[in-house]
Amino acid sequence: MEINSAHPMDSLLMRISALEKENAELQTITQQLEQRLKEQNTEMPSGKSERLNLKEYKQLFHSLTQGFALHEIICNNDNQPINYRFLDVNNAFGKLTGLSKNQIIGKTVLEILPNLEKEWIETYGKVALTGKSCQFESYTGTLDKHYEILAFSPGKNLFATLFNDITERRILEKKLLETMIHTEEQERQKFASDLHDEIGPILSSLNLYIATLAESDDKNKKAYIIPQIQTLIREAITTVRDLSNDLSPHVLLNNSLEKAIKAHLELRKDLIPVIFRSNLKGKRFPHSVELAYYRIVKELLNNTIKHAEATKVTINLTYSNDLLKIKYSDNGVGFNPEDTFLNSTGMGMINIFSRAKTINAQYQINTKPGHGFEFKLWANVLE
């Protein structure tokens, strides 16, 4: 089964990316729309004729997938905005807000949404009264939705809004953040566990041997204890070095990504044979990128050793045309992504996806039961 950003977490990332692209289009559309409206309405009269001047834009408005609405600001005697009236909306407006055109046209927002947060009126009031456009994201508890909005003024005391519902994006981003936090917490717990399980017993043994040595004058006992202490000290040094390397790989700091991966593979050579190819030739990249690639390779190899029952791993690391690519494959048992990502055994892959997200990398998975595993990762990177 091939997955091109298709497991649950990856689908979230792809959907976020699509929504971000849609929202980026808002600014271009609004700039064009604003210019055309201002050109058409340079001498726009007051009253209902504003809507007559917008007739030629009806088709454009109703073809937009973004919501569009034209409003008239309402001020008090001190010229402070206190409300606004709906003059026109497009078809997408109703889909994105749940408010129908017949329900709102000619009415004020406080008639329709009496509990609307006053910040909305204040923000739109500034646009209508000053003529200065603004772009912002905000949440309204009245509709329980998040919106990204571009607001501009096509005429005196008027403002228009072009907007997208980004509630789904906010929910997905929250889930992604929770996953990344969970991943970090897992790593902290692993480090704490390693300290307790690896260093703790060594120090306890050292303490026991030293106490015995201090209390005994028996030369034979001393002759036995001293080498044991020396062995434990060497073991403690090695363990601390390994834990330190997990936190911040010194081989990566002092050498290249290529050498760091080779060094890690050398440590695992007795567990599984790995064919590693690279054309980097010592090229260096931003530390965040190198660290993400290094940890992803470690996680992939760890998954293979733990779960794949594989007899061979192949890794290709290449760089060309500003793209840093890695292709990882094993000849193991493979798996069904949908099943794996819905239970705890999928956490290793979700950790990988989270790391890829931090460097804006893209990836592809190709696997199914009985047909091995292949993972491709690529990102735009400058040396």
The rounded distance, in Å, linking the Cα atoms of 75 and 252 is 63
Query: What local confidence, expressed as pLDDT, does residue 62 receive?
Result: 63
At which residue do the structure tokens 């493979």 appear? 334
Instruction: Print the SS3 string covering the chain.
Output: CEECCCCHHHHHHHHHHHHHHHHHHHHHHHHHHHHHHHHHCCCCCCCCHHHHHCHHHHHHHHHCCCEEEEEEEEECCCCCEEEEEEEEECHHHHHHHCCCHHHHCCCEHHHHCCCCCHHHHHHHHHHHHHCCCEEEEEEECCCCEEEEEEEECCCCCEEEEEEEECHHHHHHHHHHHHHHHHHHHHHHHHHHHHHHHHHHHHHHHHHHHHHHHHHCCCHHHHHHHHHHHHHHHHHHHHHHHHHHHHHCCHHHHHCCHHHHHHHHHHHCCCCCCEEEEECCCCCCCCHHHHHHHHHHHHHHHHHHHHHHCCCCEEEEEEEECCEEEEEEEECCCCCCHHHHCCCHHHHHHHHHHHHHHHCCCEEEEEECCCCCEEEEEEEECCC
At which of 132, 165, 198 does a domain end? Answer: 165
Same domain, 257 and 368: yes
Does 8 map to a domain?
no
CATH number assigned to the domain comprising residue 273? 3.30.565.10
Residue 323: predicted pLDDT: 93
Residue 2 included in any domain: no
Is residue 278 situated within a structural domain? yes
108 in the same domain as 72? yes
Residue 6 lies in a domain: no
Task: Judge contact between 159 and 132, C-beta under 8 A.
Answer: no
User: What pLDDT does residue 78 have?
Assistant: 93
Task: Please check whether residues 211 and 116 belong to one and the same domain.
Answer: no
Instruction: Please indicate, yes or no, whether residues 381 and 254 belong to a single structural domain of this protein.
Output: yes
Q: What is the model's pLDDT at position 248?
A: 58
Position 133 in a domain: yes
Q: 279 with 205, same domain?
A: no
Residues 158 and 189 in one domain: no
Task: Give the domain-ending residue among 224, 247, 270.
Answer: 247
Within-domain flag for 322: yes
Low-confidence ranges of the chain (pLDDT < 50): 1-13, 15-16, 19-20, 23, 40-54
What is the Cα–Cα distance from 63 to 90, expressed in whole angstroms? 8
Same domain, 103 and 51: yes
Model confidence, pTM:
0.45
Distance CA 87, CA 176 (A): 39
pLDDT digits (tens, 9 = 90+) for 1-54: 444 444 434 444 454 455 445 545 555 555 555 555 555 444 433 444 343 344
pLDDT on residue 33: 57
Whether residue 204 is contained in a domain is answered as yes
Q: Are residues 270 and 336 in the same domain?
A: yes
Residue at which a domain ends, from 117, 145, 165: 165
CATH number for 149: 3.30.450.20
State how many domains the chain has: 3
- Whether 369 and 334 map to the same domain: the answer is yes
Quick one: 267 and 363 in the same domain? yes
Q: What range defines the domain where residue 69 resides?
A: 19-165
Output the six-digit token pair for 139: 């949440």
| Positive or negative: CA dihedral 117, 123, 129, 135 | negative
Residues 314 and 343 in one domain: yes
Residue-level pLDDT at 219: 81
Examine residue 78 and state whether it is found in any structural domain, yes or no.
Answer: yes
Question: What confidence tens digit (pLDDT) does each residue in 83-107 have?
Answer: 999 998 988 898 889 898 899 999 9
Looking at the structure, tell me whether residues 76 and 142 fall in a common domain: yes
